[in-house]
Structure 1
Amino acid sequence: MNSWLTRLSKAAELDSRLIVGLMSGTSLDGLDVALCRIKGSGLATHLELLGFETLPYEEKFKDDVRQVFSKREIDLEKLTLLNAYVGRMHGELVLTCLSRWRVVPSSVTCIASHGQTVYHAPQRIHRQAGYPDATLQIGDGDHLSVSTGIPVLSDFRQKHVAAGGEGAPLALYGDTILFSSDEEDRVLLNIGGISNFTYLPRTQQKGPIICTDAGPGNTLIDALTKKLFDKPYDADGTIASSGTVIVELLQALMDHRFFSEPLPKTTGPELFNLQYLEAAQLKARGSNASPTDLIATVTEFTVQGIVRTLRQGIPGQQYGLYASGGGAHNRFLLKRLSESLGLEVRKTEVLGLGGDAKEAVLFAILANETLCGSAIATGAGPQLMMGKISLPG
């Protein structure tokens, strides 16, 4: 047997594994790197977060990715070059973190890499007859593996699509493993570029688990804040809190079939973007609104998208609501969410895992499941193991 495959096979039988989880979201803030010690698998998994860091991207790199991000027509050469470049760059960033943490690369079992999403195309959105759900992430696993000397599991979303899912949200599996509770029903809400949540009924009830996208998260807020205020995001919701929601524009933004489609469902910046906002402004005759009021309105759009989807999937129920992702740092957004739902919104830190690290950790969990040979049956998505394996040599 290939020596690298032998090594991975033996690692699956060890008491614990050292796995680096990587996440690069649609907000393009930077690469989240989580160093995890994982014991066991499935619902018997025990995870210890040994190190976490977000390494910010340079503006030039962000601009390069934006040239191919969420666009139907792009420079194919640029996409091809970025696929290799992102893999190598992520490799350099991983080695930087391991050096800071004084971890020898050869002691790491594997890297779990999400890659960089550049296009998400569920059939419900593209509506092209004969074509399936599809999604595309760049950051080639072979380049990442060779540059670090560590085996890599990557391209997780493709198996989900191949098995009948839409490629998202994959938080379902890690949320089920890490956050299932005997004591309360829980909602794990991630507010990244897109908002998604996992609903976990308390384990003894054995009710249906729900995992779905809920609409825009930070994607419109960040894009509009950059355009109108030349800031990367609305820190703490300061701009939004000083503005007034434009009711007619909010109604136009909410007037999309996505919010009435059955659960689960996925979406992306391919739909909820500045062009979508401009179309809604024309419909609502709100093109002359002040910049502050526009930020207030798109922030409320994020809130109401989450509220409507939660009520669609979990009508009239009480549950513990735990937020993570970049949007969990927007205090005004969380305040509005709490007011709209009549529930306290807490952060995942109270459950023992920092919200910034959560997504990278969840991909480390997926890699561990693949190595250890289990496929979690959640009832809310395909029962499968995910991740293509790339070897250093």
Structure 2
Amino acid sequence: MNLKPLTVAGVMSGTSADGIDVAIVRIAPVKGQPRITLLAHESFRYPTPLRAAVLAAMNAKSTSTAELARLNWRLGIAYAEAVKATVARHKIQIDLVGCHGQTLYHQAVPAQYAGIKFACTWQAGEAALIAAETGVPVVSNFRPADMAAGGQGAPLVPLLDHVLFADRKRGRVLQNIGGIANLTAMPAGSSAEALIAFDTGPGNMVMDVLAQKLFHKSYDRNGAIAAKGRVLDSVVERSMRDRYFALKPPKSAGREEFGREYAGAFLAACRRESSTPEDVLATATALTAESIVRSFERFVLSGMQGKPIDYIVSGGGARNHKLMLMLANRLEPLGCTVTTIEEFGLPAAAKEAAAFALMAWMTWHQLPGNVPAATGATRPAILGQITYA
């Protein structure tokens, strides 16, 4: 196949539902493998009414078909506006858009419905609107093809992790902390087929819900509130008994596991310990750190061949100083050098958007974009659907 260099806008809005990241990358084949150069990156907050609509629809027990249809189209408008603003600001012409969409529901494990058991997922954001507004084809709806191949539809970012960060001499762990936290672990010199990738559990999700509920803030900026509290170790220990943490990879999680209901039960557990609101945030931050560290210890460390390990953090959690300190205190004794992805030349908020730009490039060239070792799929799969302008 004739692989072509393309300039691709990747669009990502994660489980935190705080806004949209756009990364424009140049992807060119070098010896049959994609080489990625970041050209531009911008972040856009969701307008308050749109964020409220997204949060209300996520894992909702009841809503209406009209609400879901309107939200799907409203998100398409928002994604198109974000891409056009980024293109205009940086004066870059793009060839293709890869849009992840906003996950409204993700059920990675088969469950009973209408007489049979199956897994399912749904990412909203009307691709036809994005294509019409930007004037270029759009690749969207990436996760279903992996699930149809027996995978969990997540994580998909390991493809980018391997392309950008695999190293012959050092082990690398790419830890993304968005609403949900996920890692990609690559032993020194390993192939993509040998990597390990999975969702470790809550990232910013529980912290954000509690910051909103207790302090009327959308999130705990820099972990400043958590830094004033004390960690309720007993609550963390009880929380770590959740069945999700014991599951072996591949595995994926979302608001279905760690959303509003989970955060409410966590708050109640903290209050039974006569805690202050600051203690609650400190304990939620410790839960994220501890679930990450124990996932690494249990499922990753033994496979890293005793080589030096770079533990590279991205996502919004990389800007939480208290969380980063907790991670460093626990991971450095295990032989890890904890750092952020910025030190490797990629903005933390751009990584996942760049990943879906890469996946769009792969789909455009009819190449598989999943990593079966990460998702549990039985085979490589070409991901997504192409909508033409």
Q: TM-score, normalised by structure 2?
A: 0.91
> How far did 1:277 drift?
3.4
CA distance in 1, matches of 2:99, 2:352: 11
What are the superposed Cα offsets for residues 128-154 of structure 1, whole Å, 9 maximum, x if unpaired?
673222111100111211122110000
Determine the C-alpha separation between the residues in 1 that align with 2:78 and 2:192.
43
Structure 1 unaligned segments of length 5 or more: list them.
1-8
Aligned counterpart for 1:389 among listed residues 354, 362, 386: 386
Alignment of 1:131-146 (within 5 A): 131-146=117-132
Q: Helix, strand or coil for the counterpart of 1:232?
A: coil
Amino acid at match of 1:363: F
Select 1:302's aligned residue among 288, 292, 296: 288
Task: Tell me which residue corresponds to 2:368.
Answer: 375
SS in 1 for 2:225: helix
Q: Distance in 1 between matches of 2:129 and 2:171?
A: 42
Aligned residues: 377
Partner of 1:39: 28
Contact 1:176 1:378 in 2 (8 A): no
Structure 2 equivalent of residue 55 of structure 1: 44
Contact 2:209 2:263 in 1 (8 A): no
Q: Counterpart of 2:321 in structure 1: which amino acid?
A: R
Query: Relative to 1, partners in 2 of residues 1:59 and 1:206: Cα closer, same or farther, differing over 3 Å?
Result: closer
Q: Secondary structure at the match of 2:301?
A: coil
Task: Rate the CA distance shift 1:262–1:58 in 2: closer, same or farther, 3 A.
Answer: same
Distance 1:305 1:42 in 2: 39
For residues 152 and 299 of structure 1, do their structure 2 counterparts lie closer, same or farther at Cα, with a shift above 3 Å needed?
Answer: same
Q: 1:86 aligns with which of 58, 71, 75?
A: 75
* Corresponding residue of 1:262: 248
- The amino acid across from 2:218 in the alignment is P
Q: Mean alpha-carbon deviation: is it higher for 35-44 or for 305-314?
A: 35-44
After superposing the two structures, state which structure 1 stretch, 56-65 or 376-385, moved more: 376-385
Residue 50 of structure 2 aligns with an amino acid whose one-letter code is F
**Greater CA deviation, 107-116 or 322-331?**
107-116
Give the root-mean-square deviation of aligned CA atoms. 2.2
CA distance in 2, matches of 1:276, 1:204: 37
Q: Give the superposition deviation at 1:374.
A: 2.9
Residue 297 (structure 2) pairs with residue 330 (structure 1): no
Q: Which of 339, 358, 363 is the matching residue for 1:346?
A: 339
Separation of aligned partners in 1, 2:31 and 2:152: 22
- 2:77 maps to a residue whose letter is R
In structure 2, which of residues 174, 180, 199 is the aligned counterpart of residue 188 of structure 1? 174
Deviations 1:56-89 (A, max 9, x none): 1111111111120122322332111111111122
Please tell me whether residue 69 in structure 1 is matched to residue 62 in structure 2: no
Once the two structures are overlaid, the 10-residue window that deviates more, 253-262 or 68-77, is 68-77
What is the TM-score when the length of structure 1 is the normalising length?
0.90
Work out whether residues 324 and 356 of structure 1, in 8 Å CA contact, stay in contact via their aligned partners in 2: yes
Give CA deviations for 1:267-311 in whole Å, capped at 9, x if unaligned: 111211242233345567627421000000010000111111111
Change in Cα spacing, 1:43 to 1:302, as seen in structure 2 (3 Å) is farther
Aligned identity (percent) is: 33
Do the aligned partners of 1:42 and 1:177 also contact (CA within 8 Å) in 2?
no
Contact 1:201 1:207 in 2 (8 A): no
Offset, 1:362: 0.4
1:222–1:233 contact (8 Å) kept in structure 2: yes
Partner of 1:359: 352
SS of residue matched to 1:356: helix
Instruction: Return the alpha-carbon distance in structure 2 between the equivalents of residues 175 and 340 of structure 1.
Output: 23
2:311 and 2:274 mapped to 1: Cα distance?
37
Residue 142 of structure 1 aligns with an amino acid whose one-letter code is A
Code of the residue aligned with 1:388 in structure 2: it is Q
Distance 2:244 2:49 in 1: 33
- Cα separation, partners in 2 of 1:290 and 1:199, compared to 1, 3 Å: same
1:319 maps onto 2:305 in alignment: no
- Once residues 222 and 42 of structure 1 are traced to their aligned partners in structure 2, the CA distance between those partners, rounded to angstroms, is 44
Assess, with a 3 A threshold, how the Cα gap between structure 1 residues 210 and 204 changes in structure 2: closer, same or farther.
closer
- The question of whether the paired residues in 2 share the 8 Å contact of 1:31 and 1:90 is answered with yes
Q: CA 1:136–1:206 in 2, change beyond 3 Å: closer, same or farther?
A: closer
Q: Is the 8 A contact 1:281 1:287 kept in 2?
A: no
Q: Distance in 2 between matches of 1:299 and 1:127?
A: 34
**2:248 maps to amino acid:** P
SS of 1:47's partner is strand
Q: What amino acid does structure 1 have at the position aligned with 2:37?
A: E
Give the CA deviation at 1:379.
Answer: 5.3
CA offsets 1:309-331 (integer angstroms, 9 cap, x no match): 11121134552100000000001
For 1:120, what is the secondary structure of its paired residue?
Answer: strand
Deviations 1:123-180 (A, max 9, x none): 26x5667322211110011121112211000000111111111111111211122211
Residue number in structure 2 paired with 1:4: none
Say whether 1:229 aligns with 2:215. Answer: yes
The one-letter code matched in structure 1 to 2:53 is D
Name stretches of at least 5 consecutive residues in structure 2 with no aligned partner: none
Aligned to 1:160: 146
Q: Which residue of 1 aligns with 2:137?
A: 151
SS in 1 for 2:252: coil
Residue of structure 2 aligned with 1:278, choices 264, 269, 276: 264
Task: State the match for 1:5 in structure 2.
Answer: none
Aligned to 1:175: 161
Report if aligned partners of 1:237, 1:331 keep a CA contact under 8 Å in 2.
Answer: yes
Q: Distance in 2 between matches of 1:175 and 1:190?
A: 11
What amino acid maps onto 2:57 in structure 1? Answer: V
